[in-house]
Amino acid sequence: MAAETRKENVPQRKKLFITPTLATVIGSFVLITAAAILIIQAITSEKIVRQLGGELVDLGLESAQTAFVEQLHAVTETGQYTKLAWQEGELAFDEPDVLVSFLFGALAPTEQVSFLVLVDETGKGVDVDRGDADGVLLGGDVDLTADIPALLPLTEKAAGTAEPFWSDALFMPEREHTYFVYVQPLYEEEDYRGSLLIGMSLDRMSEITWFISTDEMSVFLMKEGSHEIIAHQDLHEKFDHLSVETPLLHVSQISDGFLATFADMQKLENLAFDIAEGLDLHYGHDENGNKRFVVLEQKNEDLKGLPARIGVHFPAGYLDQPLQELMVAIIVGAGLLLLSLVGAALLARRIARPVQRASIAAMQVANLNLDDVEPLPGSVIRELDDLSGGFNSMVSGLKAFSRYVPRTLVQKLLREGRADAPPEAREVAVLFTDIAGFTSASEGMSATQTADFVNHHLSLLGAEITRHGGTIDKYIGDSVMAFWGAPEHLDNPAEPAARAALGMAEAIHADNQARIERGEAPVRIRIGIHVGPLVVGDIGAPERVNYTVIGDTVNATSRLESLGKDIDPDAEVIILASREVAERLDGDIRQKPMGAHSVKGRVEPMEVVRLGE
């Protein structure tokens, strides 16, 4: 009886049902594990999205800056060339006809320039003007005191400094317009003898912003230290408001309704989107209530002294949308984890597939293989569908901006495990091309036809350069400069350079056959190749560099290309290489020695060999 009493007093263990127990235990493990992964993914993804957004903005602003710097480079080069011509005695104020002809030649190709004025120390000389922008240049004698007194203070400043400089905004009553003038002083030893004044109007500077702006992204120039607008695609609508007292319009006066409210916009911290230092980030809303961002440089050291800074405004979705969609996806994902085991498994399966596709696509973006990124498909889950749309929009934006960045060069640097390229001495093969008679051939083309023709031509040549592992340094109008041997090391960079040139010849020949069948004139090009020691790497100011090559080898290559018009001006394609290149080529490449030729900039004649003949 006592035993039975002890048995009854033993506490009974609580019995658990297997289904809810397993569901609770497994569900808890799934919840803890998935929550940990979700948190890590959220932190990592947010950082990546912010970095990509910041890089997208930096890349867009750098592209706009490049467009302006290229235009200003032509202005400063004109000033430097005129200075050299003056120092060499090729120009004299007692030969006004020669001066006018010289200025005609300098103004014709620089479409962004409105006028050129060349005067002596008394303010008398000649000027050349674009007139009514009908393509007819006007030129003749000028006396600044009587004709253009607004320019006299600039010549007085030039008399006190030998360095070129940009003027502030200058309204010229006789032209009823505002200009920025680049002044190149001319000195004979230490004596001031005159000045070259190069005028750029707000109209022509605004044309540049119109050209590089898009439907959603608007580029503008704002004066340093103020809110006055120098260039904007809609500024022409307010030119009649310019005057001597108001040479520039305040941002609130322009036709851009969103940008007009700039003074009232809120400034954001750059860290919010990993925007580069030296940029100010603002946001506001347009007349339709849509949020937009404004990115504006604090100062620009690359505009050759022009007192301007570049800005751009664009829809907030470029930066906000990926972050907002990421947060929505995180919140919804956390809620879905609280569902039953079956529901969690099904949701995991549904979520895993798009995440895997996004991961693969993100790796492609990280490797800059934008052309290989497959668009993320839609999903029946709204948040995932929004995430796909945002990611696809981001990739589309990166593809648009990558047109202005040498992507193959970046990929080569990444393969070598470096993000920058300090200058170093390297043996490099350089190739130059140019279309023979392009100026005359393009006279009968419209602007669109000229652009289509040049783009098609450069695509043919660029494909051969890429196919043979070369790096395109730059496009110079209808010309191409490329090099081999950097950033990757090559034992014989001359070989692929020559192969690329021969490939270009085949491509041009095939294209000419098609042109002839269409009744169009064939294209003739000249190619120069030289190999030698160069300095290669990042060249430029710390905040804006180009990966390029500099040295005598580049100059010699350019001279070889130009020499083609003397050796065989009627050739469809003429490839001239130096002896140093020819000695390194395989025997299957035909060579024809052309003897020694003197080229500009070199004391010793160069032994020239024609390839492919």
144 in Cβ contact with 150 (< 8 Å): no
- Give 150's DSSP letter: G
At 187, list the tokens: 């000195």
What number of other Cβ atoms are within 10 A of residue 514's Cβ?
A: 10
Residue 7 pLDDT exceeds 50: no
Region of residue 452 (phi > 0: left; psi between -120 and 50: alpha; otherwise: beta): alpha
What digits encode the pLDDT tens for the residues 399-433?
554 555 555 555 555 555 555 557 788 899 999 99
Separation CA 563–CA 578 (nearest Å): 11
458 in Cβ contact with 482 (< 8 Å): no
Among 28-42, 567-581, 589-603, which stretch is predicted with the lowest mean pLDDT? 28-42
DSSP assignment string, 209-264: HHHH--SS-EEEEEETTS-EEEEETTGGGGGGG--SS-SSEEGGGSS-TTGGGGGG
Among 81-90, 276-285, 311-320, which stretch is predicted with the lowest mean pLDDT? 311-320
Burial 170-208 (b: 16+ CB within 10 A, else e): bbbeeeebbbbbbbbbbbeeeebebbbbbbbbbbbbbbb
Which residues, including other chains, have CB under 8 Å from residue 380's CB and lie 6 or more apart?
none
Which residues, including other chains, have CB under 8 Å from residue 277's CB and lie 6 or more apart?
270
Nearest to 542 by CA among 277, 220, 281: 277
The pLDDT of residue 32? 75
159 in Cβ contact with 121 (< 8 Å): yes
Q: What's phi and psi for 153, nearest 5 deg?
A: -60, -30
pLDDT band at 141 (very low <50, low <70, confident <90, very high): very high
Among 191-195, 217-221, 315-319, which stretch is predicted with the lowest mean pLDDT? 315-319
Among 31-35, 559-563, 571-575, 592-596, which stretch is predicted with the lowest mean pLDDT? 31-35
DSSP bridge pairs for 427:
533
Average pLDDT over residues 314-320: 78
The pLDDT of residue 136? 72
Among 58-67, 119-128, 199-208, which stretch is predicted with the lowest mean pLDDT? 58-67
Residue 22 pLDDT exceeds 50: no
What digits encode the pLDDT tens for the residues 557-572?
999 999 999 899 889 9
The pLDDT of residue 372? 67
Average pLDDT over residues 184-213: 90
What digits encode the pLDDT tens for the residues 546-557?
778 888 899 999
Going from the C-alpha of 148 to that of each of 57, 90, 175, 230, the distances in angstroms are: 42, 26, 9, 22
- Angle subtended at Cα 315 by Cα 314 and Cα 321, rounded to the nearest 5 degrees: 135
17: three-class secondary structure by DSSP: coil
The pLDDT of residue 351? 55
Separation CA 607–CA 595 (nearest Å): 6
Going from the C-alpha of 42 to that of each of 348, 435, 473, 487, the distances in angstroms are: 16, 53, 40, 36
Q: At what angle do helices 382-402 and 320-336 cross, to 10 degrees?
A: 150
523 in Cβ contact with 515 (< 8 Å): yes
The pLDDT of residue 3? 45
Separation CA 591–CA 460 (nearest Å): 24
At 518, list the tokens: 């269409």
The pLDDT of residue 6? 46
The pLDDT of residue 184? 94
For the CA atoms of the chain, what is the radius of gyration? 32
pTM of the model: 0.47
At 523, list the tokens: 């294209």
Residue 494 pLDDT exceeds 90: yes
Separation CA 100–CA 85 (nearest Å): 14
556 in Cβ contact with 532 (< 8 Å): yes
Residue position matching structure tokens 């796909």:
388
Domains of the chain in start order, with CATH, are: 21-45+329-402 (no CATH), 46-328 (3.30.450.20), 407-611 (3.30.70.1230)
The pLDDT of residue 434? 93
Handedness of CA 218, 222, 226, 227 (dihedral sign): negative
Average pLDDT over residues 120-148: 84
Residue 476 pLDDT exceeds 90: no
Residue 340 pLDDT exceeds 60: no
The pLDDT of residue 563? 92
pLDDT band at 323 (very low <50, low <70, confident <90, very high): low
The pLDDT of residue 56? 61
Residue position matching structure tokens 């925007």:
275
Please report which helix (H) or strand (E) contains residue 568, including its range: none
506: three-class secondary structure by DSSP: helix
The pLDDT of residue 130? 82
Separation CA 574–CA 594 (nearest Å): 12
What number of other Cβ atoms are within 10 A of residue 336's Cβ?
A: 18
Among 67-81, 249-263, 334-348, which stretch is predicted with the lowest mean pLDDT? 334-348
Nearest to 69 by CA among 312, 314, 300: 300
Nearest to 137 by CA among 110, 181, 107: 107
What distance lies between CA 17 and its chain's CA centroid?
Answer: 67
294 in Cβ contact with 311 (< 8 Å): yes
Separation CA 169–CA 346 (nearest Å): 66
What digits encode the pLDDT tens for the residues 211-240?
888 888 889 999 988 999 999 999 989 999
The pLDDT of residue 168? 92
Question: What percentage of the chain reaches a pLDDT higher than 70?
Answer: 73
The pLDDT of residue 389? 75
pLDDT band at 280 (very low <50, low <70, confident <90, very high): confident
Residue position matching structure tokens 């008399």:
159
Residue 392 pLDDT exceeds 90: no
- Start-end of H helices in 88-190: 96-107, 152-158
Question: What percentage of the chain reaches a pLDDT higher than 90?
Answer: 32
